[in-house]
Chains A and B, each alone.
Chain A
């Protein structure tokens, strides 16, 4: 109980920090960020993409229980759906402070332009949020019926507990089957926001959507794994070792696909030897080499660790591997922006002078003492304000998950009274499945 109070408190504190700083940003404008005209998307969009990425695991885990008969994972479907729902909320919360005119957000409903991948993303993410919510809802319904609490449960009043359990099992299955394509879609479409842009060589590749899916399967499953391992704790770890190992293997397998796609992508950028392509590679391996190393090395470590017998079956290595993977995935999201915005699409070739890639300067959008207005590249690093606002989704996810864990039973164990609250009746969700 103590630990969960701490997490809840931390979540609320982070959320409050994010909200207050956002208020400051609203008062001053996006000038308080370090984004400028040449580098117009930064930490916010990267964090958004990060949360979209980890949101996948939920439905992927619950769907694979039904689709591929991965019975071992069944005890974790509740927590998987919860993590998916929370991450989707986090992604949505992150996108709002990025908007220059968040007060006009209703225009997305009033005047949607269906040619824009951003509109597709709004649609699929909204659907996914709804589906993950329903997934959580149907899985908790029998508990709520029995304990006489929870919300939206009036319609179950005239049903018996057994009937509600049957409905819960049936609908959980249905939701997760409908949810799977949406889980795939949110990554495909989020990747398409970038991949459709022929102006940006680093993004403009058909490899991006499948790679986003691979990354999502890896990081989403790692999130479910991390939460489950932490929630189950050291004492009962052995009981679920099989399931944890299964998840670790899913993570490792998805990372193999990811690394394969990355390798092919890099090869294609390099092979033709276009000045723009080479410049991107020099940004990736030179100027941003350190971030890129983090993106490559940490997930590679996780992959090897999760494939190994020891790494996939020890409490500590599972936690370490998942955490390192998150850092790697975050670096990947940042690396979407760094090389892309620093290779200006309008670069001029002057063959007679031996100049192949002269970036045409862009006005920053700010006049500041001692700073040039026109620049040929922009060394973006987030400001403190950006970091503080980016805490908002992290706080939201922690708050939602810890509140849910505290109020309802998400854990795969009978009679876990400490987390279940007053009710003494135990319930295992294994009985509710069809």
Chain B
């Protein structure tokens, strides 16, 4: 099994629901975002890009690309970053020594570091009293702590394809949250899966393909009318 994702940029409306769902389900502290949606070329999200009356507005969601040749894993001096048996790149929060080599190595800027204690950062953010968010329980992959609502200070983190859900066969939060069904998730090794079919039949691209990181996140190019 090799889990992967196809993101249909024609369908993406840039609503950032997946960003919020990802942030909430995965208990990301203030200032930390595993999943980003921006309007390439624009200084402000959801603003049109262009000139001479010709404008366009496309959106590009970017989270961990789940590289098959992941530089973040290769540089990790202690093997805290590893690929599980389903091809998902994970971080062991109990082993990471916080060297941040992976932040330098990842070409996609998806790695996030816990510069401060996430619990304290949440408390200081000024949320309503008693408000908390995030899947509340730890999740261990063969003993390794790959999800915990409050990460230890000083470790790196990133998208896990919602390991706490997908290990039970559920879909990642971003896939479920997308109102326009722009995200398709599945097994790239299974030729019958929807992701495999789309990659086979449609023209897809991957980010920074030339670096040879072999991402398992594929994009269907936007085909929106220019208005």
Contacts and interface: CB of A to CB of B under 8 A. Distances in A.
Interface of A: 28-31, 33, 35-38, 40-41, 98-102, 104-105, 107-108, 110-113, 115-119, 122, 193, 196-200, 340-341, 344-346, 348, 350, 352-355, 358, 360-368, 373-374
B56 interface: yes
A348 B98 contact: no
Contacts of B153: 29, 100
A33 B50 CA distance: 39
Contacts of A30: 98, 113, 115-116, 154
Contacts of A358: 40-41
A100 B100 CA distance: 8
Interface in B187-227: 207-208, 211-212
Residue among B50, B75, B107, B115 with most chain A CB within 10 A: B115
B117 A29 contact: yes
B139 interface: no
Interface stretch (B2-10, B31-39, B175-183): B31-39
Contact of A355 (B36, B49, B155, B207): B49
Given A100-B154, A100-B155, A116 B31 contact: no
Interface in B87-130: 95-101, 103-109, 111-117, 121, 125
B136 interface: no
A361 B152 CA distance: 25
A116 B101 contact: yes
B97 A99 contact: yes
Q: Interface majority SS on A: helix, strand, loop or mixed?
A: loop
Interface in B62-90: 62, 71, 74-80
B112 A345 contact: no
Contacts of A362: 36, 109
Closest 3 CB pairs of A and B: A100-B98, A100-B154, A367-B30
Contacts of A28: 116
B145 interface: no
Contacts of A35: 100, 115
A72 B112 CA distance: 54
A364 B49 contact: no
Contact of B107 (A38, A98, A345, A352): A345
B174 to A, nearest CB: 16
Residue from B60, B75, B97 whose CB has the most chain A CB atoms within 10 Å? B97
A348 B41 contact: yes
21 contacts: A30-B116, A37-B111, A99-B154, A100-B97, A100-B99, A100-B113, A101-B98, A101-B152, A101-B155, A102-B97, A104-B78, A104-B96, A110-B78, A115-B75, A340-B104, A345-B106, A354-B51, A355-B41, A363-B32, A366-B116, A373-B31
A38 B60 CA distance: 19
A430 B216 CA distance: 65
Given A348-B40, A367-B121, A115 B99 contact: no
B104 A360 contact: no
A105 B109 CA distance: 25
Nearest to A366: B31
A377 B31 CA distance: 16
A366 B113 CA distance: 10
Contacts of A33: 115
B101 A118 contact: yes
Contacts of B104: 40-41, 197, 199-200, 340-341
Given A100-B97, A198-B71, A346-B108, A31 B115 contact: yes
B77 A365 contact: no
A113 B72 CA distance: 12
Contacts of B106: 199, 345
Contacts of A104: 78, 95-98
A340 B105 CA distance: 11
A98 B77 CA distance: 14
Given A101-B155, A113-B79, A197-B75, 18 more contacts: A29-B115, A31-B115, A36-B115, A37-B109, A99-B99, A101-B97, A101-B98, A107-B97, A197-B104, A199-B211, A200-B104, A345-B108, A346-B107, A346-B207, A353-B56, A355-B40, A365-B112, A368-B31
